[in-house]
Protein backbone atom coordinates (compact mmCIF):
# COMPACT_ATOMS: atom_id res chain seq x y z
CA UNK A 1 0.00 0.00 0.00
CA UNK A 2 1.10 3.52 -0.71
CA UNK A 3 2.00 6.11 1.90
CA UNK A 4 -0.86 7.63 3.87
CA UNK A 5 -2.08 11.12 2.86
CA UNK A 6 -2.70 12.13 6.49
CA UNK A 7 -1.12 11.37 9.85
CA UNK A 8 -3.12 9.87 12.71
CA UNK A 9 -4.23 13.29 14.00
CA UNK A 10 -5.52 14.10 10.52
CA UNK A 11 -7.34 10.77 10.41
CA UNK A 12 -8.98 11.43 13.78
CA UNK A 13 -10.08 14.86 12.53
CA UNK A 14 -11.53 13.21 9.42
CA UNK A 15 -13.31 10.62 11.55
CA UNK A 16 -14.81 13.31 13.78
CA UNK A 17 -15.93 15.25 10.71
CA UNK A 18 -18.15 12.35 9.62
CA UNK A 19 -19.01 10.61 12.91
CA UNK A 20 -20.75 12.31 15.80
CA UNK A 21 -21.85 9.31 17.89
CA UNK A 22 -19.33 8.71 20.66
CA UNK A 23 -19.96 4.94 20.73
CA UNK A 24 -19.18 4.70 17.03
CA UNK A 25 -15.98 6.71 17.48
CA UNK A 26 -15.01 4.34 20.32
CA UNK A 27 -15.73 1.35 18.06
CA UNK A 28 -13.38 2.81 15.46
CA UNK A 29 -10.69 3.44 18.08
CA UNK A 30 -11.02 -0.13 19.35
CA UNK A 31 -10.81 -1.49 15.81
CA UNK A 32 -7.72 0.63 15.19
CA UNK A 33 -6.05 -0.76 18.32
CA UNK A 34 -6.79 -4.36 17.37
CA UNK A 35 -5.65 -3.81 13.77
CA UNK A 36 -2.33 -2.43 15.03
CA UNK A 37 -1.82 -5.48 17.23
CA UNK A 38 -2.69 -7.81 14.36
CA UNK A 39 -0.32 -5.98 12.02
CA UNK A 40 2.49 -6.22 14.55
CA UNK A 41 1.82 -9.92 15.14
CA UNK A 42 1.65 -10.66 11.39
CA UNK A 43 4.57 -8.49 10.31
CA UNK A 44 2.43 -5.98 8.44
CA UNK A 45 2.49 -2.18 8.37
CA UNK A 46 1.14 -1.13 11.77
CA UNK A 47 0.41 2.47 10.76
CA UNK A 48 -1.57 1.56 7.64
CA UNK A 49 -3.50 -1.30 9.24
CA UNK A 50 -4.31 0.91 12.22
CA UNK A 51 -5.61 3.70 10.03
CA UNK A 52 -7.76 1.23 8.05
CA UNK A 53 -9.29 0.20 11.38
CA UNK A 54 -9.75 3.80 12.47
CA UNK A 55 -11.52 4.91 9.28
CA UNK A 56 -13.40 1.72 8.32
CA UNK A 57 -16.82 3.03 9.40
CA UNK A 58 -16.29 6.61 8.24
CA UNK A 59 -19.64 6.65 6.41
CA UNK A 60 -21.68 4.56 8.85
CA UNK A 61 -23.87 7.36 10.17
CA UNK A 62 -24.70 8.40 6.63
CA UNK A 63 -25.36 4.87 5.34
CA UNK A 64 -26.71 3.01 8.40
CA UNK A 65 -30.14 2.68 6.76
CA UNK A 66 -28.66 1.64 3.41
CA UNK A 67 -26.22 -1.22 4.15
CA UNK A 68 -25.40 -1.76 0.47
CA UNK A 69 -23.93 1.76 0.36
CA UNK A 70 -21.86 1.40 3.54
CA UNK A 71 -18.14 1.55 2.69
CA UNK A 72 -18.90 2.68 -0.88
CA UNK A 73 -19.53 6.20 0.35
CA UNK A 74 -16.43 5.93 2.55
CA UNK A 75 -14.43 4.83 -0.49
CA UNK A 76 -15.39 8.00 -2.34
CA UNK A 77 -14.55 10.21 0.66
CA UNK A 78 -11.21 8.50 1.26
CA UNK A 79 -10.16 8.56 -2.39
CA UNK A 80 -10.97 12.28 -2.56
CA UNK A 81 -8.68 12.74 0.48
CA UNK A 82 -5.86 10.95 -1.35
CA UNK A 83 -6.05 7.44 0.10
CA UNK A 84 -4.95 4.67 -2.26
CA UNK A 85 -7.28 2.19 -3.94
CA UNK A 86 -5.63 -0.59 -1.91
CA UNK A 87 -6.54 1.26 1.27
CA UNK A 88 -10.16 1.83 0.21
CA UNK A 89 -10.45 -1.77 -1.05
CA UNK A 90 -9.49 -2.96 2.43
CA UNK A 91 -12.08 -0.65 4.01
CA UNK A 92 -14.77 -1.96 1.64
CA UNK A 93 -13.88 -5.56 2.44
CA UNK A 94 -15.62 -5.66 5.82
CA UNK A 95 -19.09 -4.97 4.40
CA UNK A 96 -20.63 -8.19 3.15
CA UNK A 97 -23.67 -6.31 1.86
CA UNK A 98 -21.69 -4.82 -1.04
CA UNK A 99 -22.68 -7.02 -3.96
CA UNK A 100 -19.89 -8.90 -5.68
CA UNK A 101 -17.30 -8.02 -3.07
CA UNK A 102 -15.05 -10.64 -1.53
CA UNK A 103 -12.22 -10.74 0.95
CA UNK A 104 -8.88 -11.64 -0.57
CA UNK A 105 -5.99 -10.04 1.32
CA UNK A 106 -4.94 -10.65 4.92
CA UNK A 107 -5.89 -7.09 5.79
CA UNK A 108 -9.45 -7.84 4.63
CA UNK A 109 -9.83 -10.76 7.03
CA UNK A 110 -8.07 -8.81 9.80
CA UNK A 111 -10.45 -5.86 9.52
CA UNK A 112 -13.50 -8.08 9.48
CA UNK A 113 -12.60 -10.03 12.60
CA UNK A 114 -11.17 -6.99 14.42
CA UNK A 115 -14.18 -4.75 13.93
CA UNK A 116 -16.56 -7.59 14.77
CA UNK A 117 -14.90 -8.71 18.00
CA UNK A 118 -15.04 -5.21 19.50
CA UNK A 119 -18.77 -5.62 20.16
CA UNK A 120 -18.26 -8.92 21.97
CA UNK A 121 -15.50 -7.47 24.16
CA UNK A 122 -17.45 -4.31 24.99
CA UNK A 123 -20.54 -6.33 25.90
CA UNK A 124 -18.47 -8.66 28.11
CA UNK A 125 -16.96 -5.63 29.86
CA UNK A 126 -20.32 -3.93 30.39
CA UNK A 127 -21.85 -6.94 32.18
CA UNK A 128 -19.00 -6.99 34.68
CA UNK A 129 -20.00 -5.94 38.21
CA UNK A 130 -17.04 -3.56 38.48
CA UNK A 131 -17.86 0.03 37.67
CA UNK A 132 -14.29 1.01 36.72
CA UNK A 133 -11.62 -0.70 34.66
CA UNK A 134 -14.12 -3.25 33.33
CA UNK A 135 -11.79 -4.45 30.55
CA UNK A 136 -9.19 -5.34 33.16
CA UNK A 137 -11.57 -7.97 34.53
CA UNK A 138 -12.63 -9.57 31.23
CA UNK A 139 -11.01 -12.95 30.66
CA UNK A 140 -10.37 -14.83 27.43
CA UNK A 141 -12.21 -17.84 28.87
CA UNK A 142 -15.28 -15.65 29.39
CA UNK A 143 -15.08 -14.35 25.81
CA UNK A 144 -14.84 -17.90 24.48
CA UNK A 145 -17.96 -18.84 26.45
CA UNK A 146 -19.78 -15.71 25.23
CA UNK A 147 -18.86 -16.55 21.60
CA UNK A 148 -21.04 -19.65 21.94
CA UNK A 149 -24.01 -17.78 23.44
CA UNK A 150 -26.03 -16.52 20.48
CA UNK A 151 -28.23 -14.36 22.72
CA UNK A 152 -25.22 -12.52 24.15
CA UNK A 153 -24.16 -9.48 22.10
CA UNK A 154 -26.68 -10.57 19.50
CA UNK A 155 -25.47 -8.02 16.95
CA UNK A 156 -21.98 -9.55 16.81
CA UNK A 157 -21.58 -11.75 13.76
CA UNK A 158 -19.67 -14.75 15.07
CA UNK A 159 -18.76 -15.88 11.54
CA UNK A 160 -17.09 -12.52 10.96
CA UNK A 161 -15.18 -12.86 14.23
CA UNK A 162 -14.00 -16.30 13.07
CA UNK A 163 -12.22 -14.72 10.10
CA UNK A 164 -9.18 -14.73 12.43
CA UNK A 165 -8.61 -18.32 11.25
CA UNK A 166 -7.75 -16.92 7.79
CA UNK A 167 -4.82 -15.16 9.49
CA UNK A 168 -3.41 -18.40 10.89
CA UNK A 169 -4.38 -17.52 14.46
CA UNK A 170 -6.07 -19.64 17.11
CA UNK A 171 -9.12 -18.38 19.01
CA UNK A 172 -7.28 -17.91 22.32
CA UNK A 173 -4.49 -15.91 20.69
CA UNK A 174 -6.89 -13.71 18.73
CA UNK A 175 -9.07 -12.96 21.75
CA UNK A 176 -6.04 -12.27 23.98
CA UNK A 177 -4.50 -9.97 21.37
CA UNK A 178 -7.80 -8.12 20.90
CA UNK A 179 -8.44 -7.79 24.62
CA UNK A 180 -4.90 -6.54 25.22
CA UNK A 181 -5.27 -3.96 22.43
CA UNK A 182 -8.51 -2.62 23.89
CA UNK A 183 -7.12 -2.59 27.43
CA UNK A 184 -4.29 -0.33 26.23
CA UNK A 185 -6.87 2.33 25.29
CA UNK A 186 -9.42 1.55 28.02
CA UNK A 187 -9.58 5.20 29.17
CA UNK A 188 -10.45 6.38 25.66
CA UNK A 189 -13.09 3.66 25.47
CA UNK A 190 -14.52 4.50 28.88
CA UNK A 191 -14.06 0.89 29.97
Contact 1, 84 (CB under 8 A): yes
Question: 10 Å Cβ neighbour count for 166?
Answer: 14
- What is the pTM assigned to this prediction? 0.96
Q: Which CATH architecture has domain 8-189?
A: Orthogonal Bundle (1.10)
- 109-133 tens-digit pLDDT: 999 999 999 999 999 999 999 989 9
Alpha helices in the chain (DSSP H): 8-18, 22-42, 46-55, 60-63, 72-80, 85-92, 106-126, 134-137, 140-148, 158-161, 171-184, 186-189
Question: 10 Å Cβ neighbour count for 149?
Answer: 11
pLDDT score for 102: 81
- 139-187 tens-digit pLDDT: 999 999 999 999 999 999 999 999 999 999 999 999 999 999 999 999 9
DSSP 191: -
Amino acid sequence: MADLPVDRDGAVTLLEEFISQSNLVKHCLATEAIMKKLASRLGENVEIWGMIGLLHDLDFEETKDAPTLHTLTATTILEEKGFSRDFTRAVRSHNEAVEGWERIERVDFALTCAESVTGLIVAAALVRPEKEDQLKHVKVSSLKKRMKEKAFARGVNRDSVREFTRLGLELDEFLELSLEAMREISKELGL
